[in-house]
Amino acid sequence: MSSTKTRVVILGGGFGGAEAAKRLAKSGRGEVEVILLDRHNYLTFYPLLVEAAVGGIEPRHVVVPLRSYARDAFRMGEILNVDLTGKQVRFQASGSTEPTEISFDHLVIGLGSVTRFPNIPGLAENAYELKSVADAIGIRDRAIALMEQANECRDLEKRKQLLTFVIVGGNFTGTELAGELQHFLSELVDGYPNLKKSDIKVIVFEHGKRLLGAMSERASAWALKTLQDRGVEVHLGSSVVEVLPQGVRTETQEWVPAESTFWTAGIQPSPLLKNIAGLPLTERGYIKARADLRVDGYDNVWAVGDAAAVPMPDGKPFAATAQNAVRQGPQVAKNILSSIAGKPLENFEYRSLGAFAVLGGYKAAADLFGLNVNGLIGWLLFRGAYLSKMPTFALKLRLSMDWFLDLFLRAPTVQIGVHRSRIPMPPAAQEPTEIGKGH
Ligand SMILES: Cc1cc2nc3c(=O)[nH]c(=O)nc-3n(C[C@H](O)[C@H](O)[C@H](O)COP(=O)(O)OP(=O)(O)OC[C@H]3O[C@@H](n4cnc5c(N)ncnc54)[C@H](O)[C@@H]3O)c2cc1C
């Protein structure tokens, strides 16, 4: 290594990794060289992704440039593997055809999670996920394309199938998607001469006994009633056993014709983790971490966010939430600096202040400081909270404008059409199909 500084390499510019990079770049200036690696040059602000898909937010306003966290530290490309004992990260920089090795003194793993598709016939091939801005744009474009088709369709059964949207999983993402989608489609339908509101059907299947299982019972009951009042069909204690392009089969063998099925029922850690030799993993594949965020068995390898199983004081792992990841980032940075200085490390401790679920139409459920507030007040609290959490002033302003205009303007019935562009992107490092092969 040419530099005499301690080099900290951070894998993944999500809530955990980006915050760690920001703090290290600021507090560790002079003694630490930070390198932040990600395949995208932005952080996806997931809590607002449903609204970016079918609500009032412009999709570009829910991504935060990673260079706004640590301008000089960021490098874009694909992380291929890590040699923990040799202290090297194998990385394919954007546009390059050959991987390079990046050495580290300390490593922070913040590679996040991916959607978990269990072994349900047809699920992985035919269901859609909501895990990126591209997915958000895709959902919106698809919904509008189906509206156009349905407007042309004379066959009433087929029209019904085109306008039925199935959501499997009724925790935060599924419940929010059901509420926002129903609201969006009901506004949209007025623009189509051959369609009426009753042609649209949004159906939620939730395996558990209530929606929003991670929120209070009052929030769940309110969300259920709000969705049902709007015409959303909610099936609790129920799931699907087969997914086909034309519909889903339920546990009770009922066939539901639907051209769009969304899977919002679970995550798993980044698939790269299981290829990293010597990385201790739990049974479900999460990184075994200690309360001070060091990975079990290592003093220079750290883990944050969804990928890490960080124990709470009662031994259970912290939930995979942005709330936790965004606080683990600065904590890991502090502990790395303490470790370099030979000072004692601090355990990560945080008690969630609450949670929100926004259902569209100026309504949200809010559990805050042990209290539950729903409806318009919940929605105002939600907007205030997320506005304060948006990292840059420019994005705060853009987001405020989106929300303000959404009070007066209807959603435009246009497809953004990005999927049809003939303008090629410069060659980027591709996500390999078999990550880490050969190592
Ligand atoms: C739709 C949705 C809504 C959500 N809503 C909420 C909410 O309201 N409140 C809440 O607290 N949480 C919410 N969450 C959960 C929250 O987003 C996650 O817990 C959080 O993003 C985890 O942060 P992280 O830093 O661990 O990982 P991530 O934010 O997932 O970031 C991981 C990063 O690693 C990069 N990466 C992964 N593999 C590679 C590779 N091989 N090479 C290069 N880069 C790689 C990715 O590009 C990504 O940028 C939501 C999640 C989703 C999907």
Distance 329 CA to ligand 1 centre (A): 13
Q: Which residues line ligand 1 (CB under 6 A)?
A: 12-17, 37-40, 46-47, 49-50, 78-79, 110-113, 130-131, 172-173, 270, 272, 305-307, 320-323, 325
Distance 188 CA to ligand 1 centre (A): 30
Q: Would you say the CATH fold of 123-265+353-417 matches that of 6-115+268-341?
A: yes
- Which atom of ligand 1 lies at the shortest distance from residue 50's CA? 1
Choice from 23, 38, 109 to test ligand 1 binding pocket (greatest atom count within 8 A of CB) = 38
- pLDDT at residue number 1: 47
Distance 49 CA to ligand 1 centre (A): 11
Look at the block and give the residue holding tokens 């562009």.
Answer: 421
pLDDT tens string, the chain, 439 residues long: the values are 445 899 999 999 999 999 999 999 998 778 899 999 999 999 999 999 999 998 889 999 999 999 999 999 999 999 999 999 999 999 999 988 899 999 999 999 999 999 999 999 999 999 999 999 999 999 999 999 999 999 999 999 999 999 999 999 999 999 999 999 999 999 999 999 999 999 999 999 999 999 999 999 999 999 999 999 999 999 999 999 999 999 999 999 999 999 999 999 999 999 999 999 999 999 999 999 999 999 999 999 999 999 999 999 999 999 999 999 999 999 999 999 999 999 999 999 998 889 999 999 899 999 999 999 999 999 999 999 999 999 999 999 999 999 999 888 877 777 776 666 677 777 655 554 433 333 2
- pLDDT at residue number 352: 86
Choice from 321, 353, 433, 435 to test ligand 1 binding pocket (greatest atom count within 8 A of CB) = 321
- Which atom of ligand 1 lies at the shortest distance from residue 42's CA? 49
For residue 173, CA distances in Å to 128, 138, 164, 335 come to 13, 16, 18, 33
For residue 425, CA distances in Å to 79, 136, 162, 429, 438 come to 20, 20, 32, 11, 28
CA distance 99 to 90: 6
Cβ atoms of 240 and 248 within 8 Å: the answer is yes
Reading the block at residue 434, the tokens are 């078999």
**Whose alpha carbon is nearest atom 53 of ligand 1?**
131
Question: Who's near 289: CB < 8 A, 6+ residues apart?
Answer: 295, 296, 302, 303, 308, 309, 310, 311
- For the chain, domain boundaries: 6-115+268-341, 123-265+353-417
Distance 312 CA to ligand 1 centre (A): 20
- pLDDT at residue number 435: 34
**Whose alpha carbon is nearest atom 6 of ligand 1?**
47
Reading the block at residue 6, the tokens are 């301690």
**Whose alpha carbon is nearest atom 5 of ligand 1?**
47
- pLDDT at residue number 49: 96
> In this structure, is the dihedral angle defined by the CA atoms of residues 147, 153, 156 and 157, taken in order, positive or negative?
negative
Q: CATH number of the domain at 123-265+353-417, please?
A: 3.50.50.100
**Whose alpha carbon is nearest atom 7 of ligand 1?**
47
- pLDDT at residue number 418: 61
Distance 114 CA to ligand 1 centre (A): 8
- pLDDT at residue number 256: 97
Closest CA to 326 of 69, 49, 67: 69
Choice from 9, 11, 46 to test ligand 1 binding pocket (greatest atom count within 8 A of CB) = 46
- Which atom of ligand 1 lies at the shortest distance from residue 329's CA? 25
Question: Who's near 214: CB < 8 A, 6+ residues apart?
Answer: 171, 172, 319, 355
Distance 151 CA to ligand 1 centre (A): 37
- Which atom of ligand 1 lies at the shortest distance from residue 49's CA? 1
- pLDDT at residue number 56: 87
Indicate the class that CATH gives domain 6-115+268-341.
alpha beta
- pLDDT at residue number 438: 30
- Which atom of ligand 1 lies at the shortest distance from residue 267's CA? 53
Distance 15 CA to ligand 1 centre (A): 7
- pLDDT at residue number 433: 42
